[in-house]
Amino acid sequence: MFNPFKPERAIIKDIIKETTDTTTYTFSFLDEGVRREFRFRPGQFNMLTIFGIGEAPISISSNPAEPETFQHTVRHVGNVTKFLSKMQPGDIVGIRGPYGTGWPLDVLPIKNLLIIAGGIGLAPLRPVIHEVIDRRPEFGQVEVLYGARTPAELLYPAEYEAWRQAGISLLLTVDAVPSGTAWEGQVGVVTDLFRQMSSRPGETAVFTCGPEIMMSYVVKGLLARGFKPEQIYVSLERRMNCGVKKCGKCQIGPKFVCRDGPVFAYAELLTLPEEVLGGAVR
Amino acid sequence: MSVAYARQEEWSIPQLYHLPAAKLDPFLNKLKENYTLIGPVVKGKEFVFAPLSDPGELSLHYQTTLLPPKKVLHLPFEVLFSFHEDQQIIETAQEQQQQIIFGIHPCDVHAIAILDKAYTAEYPDPYYIAKRRNTLLVALNCSEPGENCFCQSLGTGPELKDGYDLLLTDLGNGYLLEVGSPRGRELVQVMDLAPAPRVAMVEKQKVLDNARRKFQKKLNTQDLPGILEENFRQPIWEELMHECLACGSCTMVCPTCFCYNVVDKIDLNLKSGKRQREWDSCMLLEYAQVALGHNFRKDRDARVKQRIYHKLVYYEPQFGTLGCVGCGRCIHTCVKKIDITDVISRLRGE
């Protein structure tokens, strides 16, 4: 019988240091069959094992068109991720997945796309950007609003030029600029970028990921600008020990975030008795 | 995915036998030849489900047990696999000896049916299923409900209608024995038992009617989800926050709780180890905590509500059933005597 709890062995192929506490790892499954069969959709996650340390849910941050080598962008803040920071290319980890529903790129008839990310929240949205670039003619206006704490903490800066060349409008902001750092751009929280954005509610889907407090203000600001709860999608973080609706940890009301999410329409969250996104908007 | 457990509908005519009290021990001895027997035994002033080394240990006059028989299907601690220095994963053999849970009450049979849904739906759990497939249920209708029992309110007792391999009813001079599955029929065939007269079914109803009159607690289920959803911000939850110690006992003794935590245990040689899952509880502080220390249910009232709402509201959309079977264990075990039936009565303004 298939064992959904058994990780497959994967090798670290490459390590890219993104910021002081965040790293992008490129992985590939050791087993050829597993490697060939692995497919994922933007917004899905894997359970990442370091044997002897534990297992953690981490979103996939690379292009779904290249599933044989996939990436996880990891912030080193937990037991598993801190240990991962000590590992080298060639080291072996365990990976199982992908899990979750992902962003509804193929479910919705989306014309325009507004992506709003904060900090590490850009990681699960990067596969969306890569897929949109690959399928650019299918989409109309695509706009990305991205905020980080400081200029040095913006993820994937080397790719911004390519995104812009693909016709994606990219607006950046930082919370603060440390002295000695060159920064010509906007200073402020990500919702400050609403004044500059050209996205409008008509025929637009919004995908947002970041700290819940950020997402609560994003949703509040969007609703005030005429966006509807049905067109706003958020990706939630919860504790997960299994990824397959068994351990129970990730439940919010009747939803299992690991399987029914982690991406939810905001309208769906409004039906839950428990407050989500700090209950900022109800 | 289907689990080969009892299916009453395969049986157009129930098969009835009379099991005289004197034949109970010989019957158990016969069963013991091929099965591990697990049944209620005395432990101090309480009862527990335990493997029977001798049929004499079985105490069928129990009202409830400390832990539900869930513990032999969803183990409190279970090794998922071992791993080694070279990163090889070795799966634990999932071979399982055939076992019989003997004397399980209707509430606990219903609870196992709920666990079956949770564990065999999407992503079937091979560890649970391996044990479940090899577990037979010889149930016992309740003739003496305990002081905290309220199964009658939920339709999960005192009479069991399906989900068993064999069903016993204590008629005083012996047991009425009903067959509920092909595997149950195989069990009966080890003994030379006389068929029960049809009148035994009347006697059975007398015993059960007598039991039905003895319930002291009830839980009114009428529009329960609606009432709970309307009262999510009722002051009662803040009162309970101050009462509840968040010790997690209520969830540890619950026959339908399925949550677990996963830990890696390193062997002393530091070269190998095992991944293990352990029962967890939504009542505990760390349950909903993520990296960087953020906790989605930091406040105790949120955790009190999570338990009660999960049981009485969320199981229905998740598994098509209520998550409570009225066994009363959470009431019995609570240090602060928090009573789920009382909480609902208060919410209803009764």
- Is the per-residue pLDDT at B186 higher than 70? yes
Nearest to A216 by CA among A228, A208, A226: A208
Q: Is B337 exposed, middle or buried (0-12, 13-18, 19+ CB in 10 A)?
A: exposed
Nearest to A235 by CA among A78, A109, A59: A59
Residue A278: closest C-alpha in chain B: B296
B39 and B178 co-located in one domain: yes
A154 and A209 co-located in one domain: yes
- Least CB-CB distance to A6: which of B89, B119, B121? B89
Q: What band does B198 get if pLDDT is binned at 50, 70 and 90? A: confident
A61 and A192 co-located in one domain: no
- Contact list in B for residue A244 (CB cut-off 8 A) is 122-123
Residue A103 lies in a domain: no
B229 and B281 co-located in one domain: yes
Write the Ramachandran bin of B103: left for phi over 0, alpha for psi from -120 to 50, otherwise beta: left
The answer to whether the CB atoms of B277 and A247 lie below 8 A apart is yes
The answer to whether the CB atoms of A2 and B287 lie below 8 A apart is no
Residue B186 lies in a domain: yes
B137/B162 Cα distance (integer angstroms): 11
Strand segments, DSSP code E, in chain B are 15-20, 36-43, 46-51, 77-84, 89-91, 99-104, 135-140, 166-170, 174-179, 194-195, 260-266, 272-279
The answer to whether the CB atoms of B121 and A251 lie below 8 A apart is no
- Least CB-CB distance to B91: which of A6, A239, A251? A6
A207 and A260 co-located in one domain: yes
- Contact list in B for residue A92 (CB cut-off 8 A) is 87
Structure confidence at residue B6 (pLDDT): 46
CATH number at residue B16: 3.40.640
- Is the per-residue pLDDT at B14 higher than 80? no
A77 and A209 co-located in one domain: no
Residue A21 lies in a domain: yes
Residue B111 lies in a domain: yes
A149 and A75 co-located in one domain: no
* B130–A contact, CB cutoff 8 A: yes
Residue A1 lies in a domain: no
CATH number at residue A250: 3.40.50.80
Structure confidence at residue A280 (pLDDT): 44
Q: How far is B44 from chain A (nearest CA, A)?
A: 33
Q: What band does A109 get if pLDDT is binned at 50, 70 and 90? A: confident
User: Do the beta carbons of residue B39 and residue B50 sit within 8 Å?
Assistant: yes
Q: How far is A273 from chain B (nearest CA, A)?
A: 7
Residue A91: closest C-alpha in chain B: B87
The answer to whether the CB atoms of A94 and B87 lie below 8 A apart is yes
Q: What band does B1 get if pLDDT is binned at 50, 70 and 90? A: very low
- Contact list in B for residue A56 (CB cut-off 8 A) is 291
Residue B219 lies in a domain: no
B232/A97 Cα distance (integer angstroms): 35
Q: How far is B40 from chain A (nearest CA, A)?
A: 28
- Is the per-residue pLDDT at A249 higher than 60? yes
Q: What band does A281 get if pLDDT is binned at 50, 70 and 90? A: very low
- Contact list in B for residue A81 (CB cut-off 8 A) is 291
Residue A104 lies in a domain: no
The answer to whether the CB atoms of B273 and A77 lie below 8 A apart is no
Per-residue pLDDT reduced to its tens digit, A178-207: 999 999 999 999 999 999 999 999 999 999
**Range A225-240 average pLDDT:** 95
- Structural domain containing residue A136: 112-279
Domains held by chain B: number: 2
A160 and A80 co-located in one domain: no
B154 and B252 co-located in one domain: no
Residue B218 lies in a domain: no
- Is the per-residue pLDDT at A222 higher than 80? yes
Residue A46 lies in a domain: yes
Structure confidence at residue B13 (pLDDT): 47
B147 and B81 co-located in one domain: yes
A57 and A81 co-located in one domain: yes
| Whole-prediction pTM | 0.94
Residue A107 lies in a domain: no
A85 and A125 co-located in one domain: no
CATH number at residue A50: 2.40.30.10
- Contact list in B for residue A4 (CB cut-off 8 A) is 123-126
B14 and B69 co-located in one domain: yes
Interface test with A, best of B82, B89, B281, B303 (most A CBs within 10 A): B89
A116 and A89 co-located in one domain: no
| Domain end point (choices B186, B212, B238) | B212
Question: How many residue pairs from chains A and B have C-beta atoms closer than 8 A?
Answer: 118
Domains held by chain A: number: 2
A219/B278 Cα distance (integer angstroms): 38
B125 and B229 co-located in one domain: no
- Structural domain containing residue B270: 224-347
Q: Which of residues 106-125 of B touch A (CB under 8 A)?
A: 118-119, 121-125
B129 and B195 co-located in one domain: yes
Mean pLDDT of chain A: 95
A68 and A152 co-located in one domain: no
Q: Would strands A251-252 and B99-104 be described as parallel, antiparallel, or unpaired?
A: unpaired
| Domain end point (choices B148, B177, B212) | B212
Interface test with B, best of A96, A249, A269 (most B CBs within 10 A): A249
B251 and B142 co-located in one domain: no
B292/B275 Cα distance (integer angstroms): 23
| DSSP-assigned states of every residue in B20-54 | EGGGHHHHHHHHHTTSEEEEEEEETTEEEEEE-SS
Structure confidence at residue B95 (pLDDT): 67
A58 and A188 co-located in one domain: no
Residue A23 lies in a domain: yes
Interface test with A, best of B88, B117, B120, B123 (most A CBs within 10 A): B123
* B295–A contact, CB cutoff 8 A: no
- Is the per-residue pLDDT at B96 higher than 50? yes
- Is the per-residue pLDDT at A244 higher than 80? yes
Mean pLDDT of chain B: 92
Longest pairwise C-alpha distance within chain B: 68
Per-residue pLDDT reduced to its tens digit, B46-86: 999 999 999 999 999 999 999 999 999 999 999 999 999 87
- Contact list in B for residue A241 (CB cut-off 8 A) is 260-262, 277, 280
